[in-house]
Amino acid sequence: MFDLSQYEIEVKKIFRNASPAALYEEALRYEKNATLADTGALIAYSGDKTGRSPKDKRIVKHSDSENDVWWGTVNIGLDEQVFCVNRERAIDYLNTRQRLYVLDAFAGWDPKYRIKVRVICARPYHALFMHNMLIRPTREELETFGEPDCVIINAGAFPANRYTTGMTSKTSVDLSLERREVVILGTQYAGEMKKAVFTLMNYLMPKDGVLPMHCSATCDPETDSSSVLFGLSGTGKTTLSADPKRGLIGDDEHCWTDHGVFNIEGGCYAKAIYLTREAEPQIFDALRYGAVLENVVYDQADHHVDFDDSSITENTRGAYPIEYIPNAKIPCISGQPTDVIFLTCDAFGVLPPVSRLTPEQAEYHFISGYTAKVAGTEVGVTEPEATFSPCFGGPFLVWHPGKYAELLSERIQRYDTNVWLINTGWSGGAYGVGARMKLAYTRAIVDAIHAGELKDAPLQQEPCFGLNMVTKCPNVPDKILIPRQTWADGDAYDATAKKLAKLFHDNFQSYADGVSEKVRHAGPSPS
């Protein structure tokens, strides 16, 4: 008989690796406001927190790992005694529940590197979410699962005590690298569990010389060679990785090993706001029976979801198994990448549509992780605003960004991988003057990269950023490939380019001590 006594949890009614059907039944009976969409997906609500709480994330400071961790605003230290206090608070809460849900599953499709994860939670919605997001074991694998490598103790419905040392709110997401345990208090947002696993992988994998990546990945169905796409929100990563001509390895979290690329997850967690079948047919059709729809608004009469309604949150989400995507490659493993693509939505309108990067430039732009918000997307934003997230996944890094950049540089040189910077943002001027790059042109660029047609394309150096701009690409007008030529006022282009270059330079100073001199000088000139 399975029990949780080793965690001092004495609840008798435990559902271990329950089927989606059983979790549906539990959710509809015991979850507040849970219901079914007309497509068969489970609709659930996360309460007050409808997104991650990065300022409330803590990592235990321990002598065994203290020198490995990049301490600061991303990784805030926590005393081990305080972790134990929060852990006991979480377990005390779980012991008040009549029924608990446990999921034992895997993170990482490559058997050599995968870890065993145990999730202990009080909500069937959370169990179904992680059933979708982790790699589901076979019946035989579950019987021989043994002790987990990581345990998530999710008591998110119960608040942290704000008067506990180191707590800044009623929310706390604590990770102990030594215990391999995560304790969640004060937030019921399911994405905290998914990203806790990714954070742990970001710590463990570099120890084995493996590069964890916050990216999507696809593969050539004939050669099995892969391509990885990095990009922050709004850059087109999800749209461009939904390529019917290629197999989908995954949409968000991967590792690059000596054997190739593997997905960490067993599912996808897609944004659902403004979702349409016309724009995202694969995602739309995946939100069916077995999927979780989070914080969406639906019609009370027929339970049809209104994906345009953001009255609860802009961050509506859908979680579904990756096999719901027709061209998903199962198992989610592929060969070495021929191409690494950095996507940026440059609202300043000065970065080229496509540039080929040197290894040093690849490290620089990887550490920078640039995109730009545009006026009107947030209150108070009246002109383009640069956003930088190191390694395109700053909130989930554990080591210094330079560690991940070194691993990237070493791999692209070892496997002769091409690295590209693609601007999906503005052309012909900054936001408000120019126009957004046509998606058809960006797709043509990505197709040409995958076809190997840009490997020997003519290049021209952009003077401010030192980027090697591709000047010929099939199905893309030559004129737009050199951004200065698209601006009516060349002097205005020069001034805007210098402004953005300075923002890059100032941002990079935070990481300069952890990288080589060559990398420090691979970015734009600040003057």
Q: Which residues are catalytic?
A: 52, 195, 214, 233, 237-238, 252, 317
Neighbour tally for 226: CB within 10 Å: 27
Which tokens in the block code for residue 245?
């001509």
Q: Which residues contact 473 (CB under 8 A, 6 or more apart)?
A: 353, 354, 444, 445, 448, 453, 454, 457, 481
Residue 238 phi, psi (nearest 5) = -65, -45
CA-nearest of 42, 54, 123 to 296 is: 42
Residue 78, amino acid: L
Residue 211 phi, psi (nearest 5) = -95, 110
Distance, C-alpha 291 to centroid of its chain: 19
Distance, C-alpha 56 to centroid of its chain: 18
Distance between CA atoms of 59 and 77, rounded to whole angstroms? Answer: 5
Which tokens in the block code for residue 317?
């989400």
The dihedral of CA 381, 385, 388, 393: what is its sign?
Answer: positive
Distance between CA atoms of 414 and 72, rounded to whole angstroms? Answer: 32
Vertex 507, ends 502 and 510: CA angle to 5°?
A: 140
Helices 191-207 and 124-133, packing angle to 10 deg: 40
The DSSP bridge pattern shows strands 13-16 and 99-107 to be parallel
Residue 214 phi, psi (nearest 5) = -90, 90
Tokens 């979801």 sit on residue: 305
Q: Are 174 and 127 spatial neighbours (Cβ–Cβ below 8 Å)?
A: no
Distance, C-alpha 465 to centroid of its chain: 27
